[in-house]
Amino acid sequence: MEKKKVTGQYINDSYYQIKHPSGLEILIYPKENSTTTYALFGTRYGSIDNCFKRSDELSAETVPEGIAHYLEHKLFESEEGDAFERYAKTGASANAFTSFDSTCYLFSCTDRFYESLEILLDFVQSPYFTKETVAKEQGIIGQEIKMYDDDPNWRVVVNHLRALYHHHPVKDDIAGTVESIAEITPEYLYRCYHTFYNLNNMALCITGDVDIDGVLDICDKMLKKAEPIKIERVFPAEPQSVVTHYVEDRLSVAIPVFQFGFKEILRDQGHISEKDLAAVEVLLEILASDSSPLFRKLLDAGLVSESSFSHEYFEGAGYASVFFSGESKDPKRVSEIIMDEVHHLQETGIDEKSFQRAKKACYGEIVSALNSTSAISNIMVSLAFKDRELFAYVDAFPNLLKEDVEQKLKQIFVPEQSALSVILPLENNEKEFMA
């Protein structure tokens, strides 16, 4: 069993990387005297993985949209009962989520950790699908899809991605469509499960006051050795251009909801390093944080409120974008002011004082997150699934140069690569809003 201790360059903290004989990557971050322990068991498998080729097969296969999310729902069920019922007996709080590029199962607890860990490793490795249970879930997930279709905060995101991306499956809803999930069968579920839930494609991250040998004893007992396979994700060619610069929809909102952003032109096969990631975070802190001139300008003009403006770097396999989101009575004006501020920074360069302040703020935020067991586990797994390492990311901030951030400013913020998505009030509501 390979065991490696990883220590930060600037912070006096360490965690352990372990390659288990089963093929699973295990990350254990000991936090002495922590009152809560957090475990996350995940796979590199999300909604974008609808076309793939296994290394032990000759050709790629396309499956219906929504299977990753469907599997997340179904794995909690077994012939012995529901996993949540089992967790109730240990007092653990459990959950799961599916994103565009991963699926994760998690729990937190204050005691009886090893019993809960057994439950986690057991049910995720014990798929149980029948025609009857799959058909029943189709109705449940179909209702969930319709619910999200009516959610303005989700609809504005999906519409925006469809404005930015021509063919990449990141433009498709994580849960799929009512039509696509109707095509899902037990055979499809088992096929995708045995491809992506191979332990060599997964990771287990545990943060808290735990005994490493105790964790490994449970892993030795519960993990089933998996034959390694390589999975090639097959994506259609994606043009550099956006589909449209503006898209709007109408739902029941009091104030228009918007998302404005830029589609990044990816280089180097889309690989984004820890340094690149840190540079974008610092850039967004300079450009759009609560203390930025841009935010103050939007606030003073009454275009956003203190709590209704946010920013995000959204990236994964074959896609990367910067988003600005919120509510505003005039989303188009918000996008114009953002574009003006970007152009100003590109023309004048980033002020050294602003750069140093933003770098310290971002570094302080990530170091502060290392006090949270849930934050550590989620960050570590997210980075690991994209072939990055936690302390390489944390240590990138103190080592950043202003030139690194200015390079990202020119690379990402290209006017032709922008799009604005807006959710307007229903027409009757809009008349009341305008009045």
- Cα separations (Å) of 27 from 2, 8, 282, 419? 12, 15, 27, 39
Q: CA torsion angle for 379, 31, 2, 231 (degrees, to 10)?
A: -20
Asked if 250 and 424 count as a contact pair (C-beta separation under 8 A), the reply is: yes
Asked if 77 and 197 count as a contact pair (C-beta separation under 8 A), the reply is: no
282 contact partners, CB below 8 Å, separation of at least 6:
355, 358, 359, 362, 397, 400, 405
Amino acid (one-letter) located at 58: L
Asked about 72 being catalytic, the answer comes back as yes
Cα 301 from Cα 340, distance rounded (Å):
15
Cα 311 from Cα 143, distance rounded (Å):
30
**Annotated catalytic residue: which of 72, 77, 274, 281?**
72
Cα 11 from Cα 9, distance rounded (Å):
6
Q: What is the token pair recorded at 291?
A: 């203390």
Residues paired with residue 15 on neighbouring β-strands, in sequence order: 6
Q: Which of 383, 375, 269, 369 is nearest to 25 (CA)?
A: 383
- Phi-psi region at 346: left, alpha or beta (left = phi > 0; alpha = psi -120 to 50): alpha
List strands edge to edge, sheet with 319-327: 246-251, 418-425, 257-263, 319-327, 309-316
Lookup result for tokens 């793939």: 52
CA 215 vs. chain centroid, Å, equals 26
207 contact partners, CB below 8 Å, separation of at least 6:
28, 29, 31, 34, 37, 38, 39, 373, 374, 376, 377, 380
Cα 237 from Cα 166, distance rounded (Å):
9
Residues paired with residue 325 on neighbouring β-strands, in sequence order: 259, 310
CA 213 vs. chain centroid, Å, equals 31
SS3 (DSSP) at 397: helix
The catalytic site residues sit at: 72
